[in-house]
Amino acid sequence: MRSRVTLLIGLTGINQGVFATDQVKTLDTIYVSTALASESAQHAQALTKFQHDLFDLPFSKSHLSQDIIQQQDIQRMDQALSIVSGVLHQNNYGGGFWDNYSFRGFQGNPNMGVDAIRNGLSVNRGISAPKDMVNIESLDFLKGPSASLYGRGEVGGALNVTTKKPKWTSETALNLRGTTQDEYRLSLEQTAPISDALAYRMAVAVEDNQSFRDHVSSQRLFVAPQFSWKLSENTQVHLDTEFTQHLGTFDRGITAVNNQLLMDPKTFTGEPSDDDMRVKDNLYQVRLKHQFNDAWQMNAAISYKDAQMVGYSTEPRKLQADLETLERQRRHRDYQTDDILLQAEVLGQLQLGHVQHEFVLGVETGRLDFMQRQLRLNHSAAQPNWINIYAPIYGQFSPELPLHTDSDERQQYMAVNVQDQVFFNDQWNILFGGRFDRVEQRFINHRTQFKDQSTAQKFSPRIGLNYRPTPALSVYSNYGEAFSMNNGMGRTGETFAPETAKSYEIGAKYQWQDHSMLSIALFDMSKKNVLMTDAIDPNYEAAVGEVKSKGLEIDFNHRINDQMMVSAGYAYMDAKVSKDDVLPTGSALSNVPKHSAHVMASYDLWQNVQQAAGLNFNLHYVGQRSGDSPTNTANGFSLPAYTVLNLGAYYQANPNLRYQLNIHNLLNEEYYLSSYSHVWIQPGEPIKAALSVQWQY
């Protein structure tokens, strides 16, 4: 048994709801300063690079504040998805070795997880460990196309992560958390000024986690030193670093039997002797911000990220005819990525007659190296590797592994983006934007000596129109395109053409009183050259000709009174194959239900200067969805619908001490989060209580 911390963490209360401001204000003018400002539910900066009321933008978003992250006991990114409409779980690679989710039915790179935006700037590509919440201030799920601005994210949306920053006041927070599932976490945050011009912040988090699944566990260490330096009144430099070590059992979950979920969700079909898979993820970033005057500023950044995934695993491959003997494969992975990224942008406002312009001009260049070394051996009569799914006996097989994959890939990329949002008056504005990308890709398969070199370039436009007839109502439409390179090689050693996408959206937002908002969006999207599981060998991807996703999102936020807040969301999505030489039209995309919904509420029992207490709940529903890739047309396997209820309570004993109790899956629903194929299915967690305590001083 691994060493454990003895008590538990707790992070905060629910006294503030979705909205971060005390009241919603109608701006005298619809343009504002380019000065950096924090995101909130009512305001957005990451959508256009300028701080605006959301009603003045032809886009929408879902905002999760620090209060919501804390009150819902969100420890990993995938736990946030239950309270965001249209964003859903996808394969998280062996039980949680990176973040992966879909926006409006389309997921990101299956080989590396989802690209994100960090503090309103593009972030490095490559292998990424799951993000740690100790360094995150808020999450903004930006809906609709953003590739023309960032070159990141899906055409359906992108995630902007706002990190915590150093402060010029001294603050320390110690957090302890533990659960009935033998999960233990300790985190420490400290920030203080070093001088009038220099401040630092240090965040450390340590975890030791068991699992409800047999022989599955994980450990984690996260360290994030940061510095902020005021060079002058108008110039600031920020140094951000993050170092993550994530160790855990590589766990593919359970296997369906004749398309039925008959296995015990606890049963592990790998080999405990394989030991941990190890992920290292290091990020270094220097950011410069210079304010020329009240209307113009420059941002620049240089970032470097190196990451590695290495370790053994034994994974399901095929269920034999007796429906209980599972053939397996054993693998050793050594994947490494290195990415360096340089970016600069100028933002400014210009008044031309009665028309206000807000300009963005940005340039970006970088290089991504991706090395894959893999040893692998499948079950065979000569070298068996199998296990009984109902009565597993471990340690029978540990075959030596031959070389299977040995490849190097390099992408050198450059991009220029431009944007102009034109405000004609208080009611009408239009946004024009575009990004030109050029990528040179070199690939070598050292096993076969196959080499490939290609160059791809694409202009990705984004257009948005917004009409605000009254301060309480706005309607909008937008169109955008996206472009991204596909990594890796197919089963026969070939590389893939780039992925391209288009999106159309119309929507409306309505506010009937302060702290209340209803938004509706209709979208229609398509993508070409999408990587999905190969029907012949699920260890590879194959490119699908074209897929489409269309649907509806509804979001509702309302503060009933000073004590109670409620929010809800619903999404309808129809995501399927629309054109392919092999796959039948209409094959559903995996892990995308037609219907999903959530309701979240918080209630403050009392609150004063010294003490506070409150309750919250979160109920979310995910409908039936395909559990297999469209490439496996003969399977027809579906994941069942589920409904999960979470409850929480907090007690602020004094200004420095807070306790929190959360009960996840109160009704002990048996459910399945996602799957990669019918032999790799991730079960959801049963009922679990988490107790937390936080000291602040």
pLDDT 10s digits, 34-93: 333 456 777 888 899 999 999 999 999 999 999 999 999 999 888 999 999 999 988 878
Residue 474's φ and ψ, nearest 5 degrees, are: -140, 145
Q: Which range among 274-288, 328-342, 632-646 shows the weakest confidence by mean pLDDT? A: 632-646
- Token pair 């970006």 in the structure block, residue: 364
What is the rounded average pLDDT of the residues 308-328?
96
To the question of pTM greater than 0.85 for the whole model, the response is yes
SS3 of residue 336 by DSSP? strand
pLDDT at res. 633: 55
Mean pLDDT to the nearest integer, 272-291: 96
pLDDT recorded at residue 420: 97
Return the pLDDT at 16: 35
Which pLDDT does position 9 carry in this prediction?
A: 31
Q: What is the pLDDT of residue 80?
A: 92
Task: Quote the DSSP letter at residue 488.
Answer: S
pLDDT reported for residue 23 = 36
Average confidence (pLDDT) over 664-682: 94
**Confidence class for position 15, pLDDT limits 50, 70, 90:** very low
Min mean pLDDT across 85-99, 129-143, 389-403, 503-517 is at: 85-99
- Predicted local confidence at residue 398, as pLDDT: 84
pLDDT surpasses 50 at 29:
no
Mean pLDDT value across residues 662-686: 95
Domains of the chain, start order: 43-696 (2.40.170.20)
> What are the CA-CA distances from residue 290 to residues 37, 55, 173 (Å)?
15, 28, 31
Examine the pLDDT at 493 and tell me if it is beyond 80. no
- Highest-confidence range of 65-79, 233-247, 580-594, by mean pLDDT? 233-247
pLDDT score, position 632 = 62
33 pLDDT exceeds 50? Answer: no
Task: Pick the more confident residue, 594 or 107.
Answer: 594
What's the rounded Cα separation, in Å, for the pair 262 and 255? 8
Q: Tens digits of per-residue pLDDT, 455-486?
A: 999 999 999 999 999 999 999 999 999 888 88
Mean pLDDT for the stretch of residues 345-364 = 96
The secondary structure of 112-157, three-state, reads CECCCEECCEECCCCCCCCCCHHHEEEEEEEECCCHHHHCCCECCE
Question: What is the identity of the amino acid at 219?
Answer: Q
Residue 418, pLDDT > 70, answer yes
- Given this model, what pLDDT does residue 567 score? 96
Residue 503 pLDDT > 70:
yes
Model confidence at 32, pLDDT cuts 50, 70, 90, reads: very low
User: CA 165, 166, 168, 169: dihedral to nearest 10 degrees?
Assistant: 90
Q: Would you state the structure tokens that stand for residue 662, as one six-digit string? A: 């959360």
Give residue 530's pLDDT.
84
Going by C-alpha positions, the residue among 687, 655, 654, 656 that lies closest to residue 670 is: 687
Q: Give the pair of three-digit tokens for residue 512.
A: 């009937």
How do residues 153-172 score in pLDDT, each as one tens digit?
678 898 999 999 999 999 99
pLDDT band at 8 (very low <50, low <70, confident <90, very high): very low
pLDDT score of 504 more than 90: yes
Q: SS3 of 201, please?
A: strand
pLDDT surpassing 60 at residue 618:
yes
Whole-number mean pLDDT of the chain?
Answer: 89
State both tokens at 287: 């950011």
How many other C-beta atoms are found inside a 10 Å radius of the C-beta of residue 502?
A: 18
